[in-house]
Every structure is written in C-alpha cells, then in structure tokens.
Amino acid sequence: MHVFIFPNLDKKNCEKTVCSTYKFLTEHGVKVYMSEFYEADFSYLSGVIFEDENFCAEKCDIIIAIGGDGTILSASSLACAYNKKLLGINCGRLGFMATLEHDELYLLENLLNGNYHTESRHMLDVLVKRKDSSDSISVLNDIVISKTAKTKIADFKVKKSDCCVSHLRADGLIFSTPTGATAYSLSAGGPILEPDMDCFEFTPICPHTLMSRTMIFSKNTSLEVSFDTYDGSEQSLCLIADGNELDTISASDRVYISMSDKYIELIDIRGGNFFMSVTNKLMRPLKSSEEE
C-alpha cells in the first residue's frame, strides 16, 4: 500500500501525529509519500518519499489528511482529481469530517486490513462567466458570494431556467453540498442534510428581509446568480470556495452553480454514524486549546 500524508502543521499535535502515523504505517510495510514542501520539517523521517503533491496523489492508494476540516477540504481537490480515497485525522477543534482523532491512531490497523467503508460525497460545480473569460471550480463544502468590509449590501438575483427563484438584498449567498450543510450554511441558519442526499442548498447571509429562508434544489438543477447595487455604484464581491478566497466578481459577471458528477470517497474507519457526529461534535461545547 502507498499512502500520501497531507498535514497542516499549524494545528497543535499535527507534527506528533504525522510522526506516529508514519511510524505505524512503515512498520506495516506501507510506503509513505509527502509533499516536498514539508521536506525540511520532516527530514528526520528517512523513509518518506518527498515529491510534488500531484505526483504523490497520483502514486498513492489513499490520502491521509492530518489537521482539521480545512485540511480535509484542501486535500479533497487532489482526492477528487486523482480518484483517491481520503481519510481525515483530526488535530483541530471540531474535525467534523474526520473519522479519527489524533489519539486513536491504533485504529489505522482497520485501514490496513480493509476493515472500513467509504462514503461518496458529491461536489458542486461553479462556473464564473465574465465578458472575455470564464473560470470553473468544483467544491466539496460550499461556494460563497460575499460583500467585503468596504462594500455595501448588494441586491442578488437567483434564477433557474430564466425563472427568478429569489431576489433579495443581503450580505452574501452560500451554496452548499450536503457535506457543507454542517459548515457555514448551518451557522447562517440553514438545515442539516444527510451527506448522501442528491441535492444542494442555498442560504442567504444576513438577508434584509424577515421572509428569506434556505432553499433546497434537486441534483439536476442549475442556478444562475447575479448581483447589483441598489444605488447603482460599482463594486466587487468576493468569491470564496471551501473557505479560500478565489477572486472578485463584478455586476457584469454571472455565476452558474450545479451539482457535479465529481465526488470523493471519504473513509470511515471507525464505523461511525453521521448523526453520532452531529450529536458529539455540534451539540457539545467547543474544545478548549488544552483538549486539542
């Protein structure tokens, strides 16, 4: 077996967890890859193959993301691009998408024995059309169109097949997969969706109305999003994909959002349950820094 370890050293306990994971894997004959970016940090792990992360993703059988939910999201683009299974080990404060905590590495034996199951998580396709160009991206959690601190509240229009489904004034909009329903959308008042549902949701951010609610769309839906300012002033909004700011969009741009044919396979090594995670991680106080 070949494993690509994808760490986030900004997380407490990450370096220790990487070393323990490496030790466990190599003792069981697993070949370990890491991005060359971390070669200086882990030069003392003599058996690691340090290469470009795309090379590592292509050569591995499984990607292990060690960090928090953001680390898993970062690794998901590689997992999707190279059709690799993804395992998350949590060193963060929530780790909702992770299947293991950093003190449960003994359960990696299930990975080596094939004693686990996977969950298919569909992604969202996002296409931005400008006057002279277009860009596309796929996201696992959500795409957010948001005002900045220096811009004014905007008027948004969301259309499906030339039919307006929402016209509202708000700080921004969140379009999320069922996986992302427990992230920003939940904080903005959206519902929890089971991760295997074939749908996606639209949740406004701080809408200037009492009547705005989350809307859920079927997997075959394609939405067109545009915006304007009520006073006609020129401004740009941020386009944020899985927590990373991508670019700005102007009133002349159009954003198209639909469910993707792409998906990733998340490894559940512990045999957990989605609603168990909801109960244990979303209905309890946040970890303190001492617990991380």
- Report the pLDDT averaged over residues 211-227: 93
Q: Which of 106, 144, 99, 103 is nearest to 124 (CA)?
A: 144
Task: Give the pLDDT score at 285.
Answer: 60
Please determine, for residue 235, whether its predicted confidence score (pLDDT) is greater than 60: yes
Please determine, for residue 65, whether its predicted confidence score (pLDDT) is greater than 60: yes
How far is residue 191's CA from residue 209's CA, in Å, rounded to a whole number? 19
Q: Which of 9, 10, 64, 5 is nearest to 33 (CA)?
A: 5
Task: Give the pLDDT score at 287.
Answer: 57
For 163-207, write each residue's pLDDT tens digit: 999 999 999 999 999 999 999 999 999 999 998 899 999 999 999
The answer to whether the predicted template modeling score (pTM) of the entire model surpasses 0.95 is no
Q: Which of 95, 76, 109, 110 is nearest to 4 (CA)?
A: 76
Residues with Cβ < 8 Å from 44, sequence gap 6 or more?
none
HSE-CB at 24 with a 13 A cutoff on CA atoms is 17
Task: Give the pLDDT score at 230.
Answer: 64
Please determine, for residue 106, whether its predicted confidence score (pLDDT) is greater than 70: yes
Q: Are 237 and 227 in contact (CB under 8 A)?
A: yes
Name the token pair of 95.
């780790």
pLDDT above 90 covers what percent of the chain? 68
Task: Give the pLDDT score at 130.
Answer: 92
Please determine, for residue 286, whether its predicted confidence score (pLDDT) is greater than 60: no
**Tell me, what amino acid is at 35?**
S
Please determine, for residue 288, whether its predicted confidence score (pLDDT) is greater than 70: no
Task: Give the pLDDT score at 246.
Answer: 87
For 205-217, write each residue's pLDDT tens digit: 999 988 889 999 9
269: pLDDT confidence band, cut at 50, 70 and 90?
Answer: confident
Q: Are 251 and 227 in contact (CB under 8 A)?
A: yes
Residues with Cβ < 8 Å from 142, sequence gap 6 or more?
124, 174, 175, 176, 177, 180, 183, 184, 185, 241, 242
Q: Could you give the domains of the chain? A: 2-116+269-282 (3.40.50.10330), 123-262 (2.60.200.30)
Strands (DSSP E) along the chain, which ranges?
Answer: 2-7, 31-35, 49-51, 62-67, 85-90, 100-101, 117-129, 134-139, 142-146, 154-160, 163-170, 172-176, 199-205, 215-218, 222-228, 237-241, 244-249, 254-268
Task: Give the pLDDT score at 290.
Answer: 52
Residues annotated as part of the active site: 69
Task: Give the pLDDT score at 211.
Answer: 83
Report the 10 Å Cβ neighbour count for 17: 24
Please determine, for residue 271, whether its predicted confidence score (pLDDT) is greater than 80: no
Stronger pLDDT, 38 or 275, i.e. the higher one: 38
Task: Give the pLDDT score at 15.
Answer: 94
- State which H helix or E strand residue 25 sits in: helix 14-27
Name the token pair of 209.
């109305």
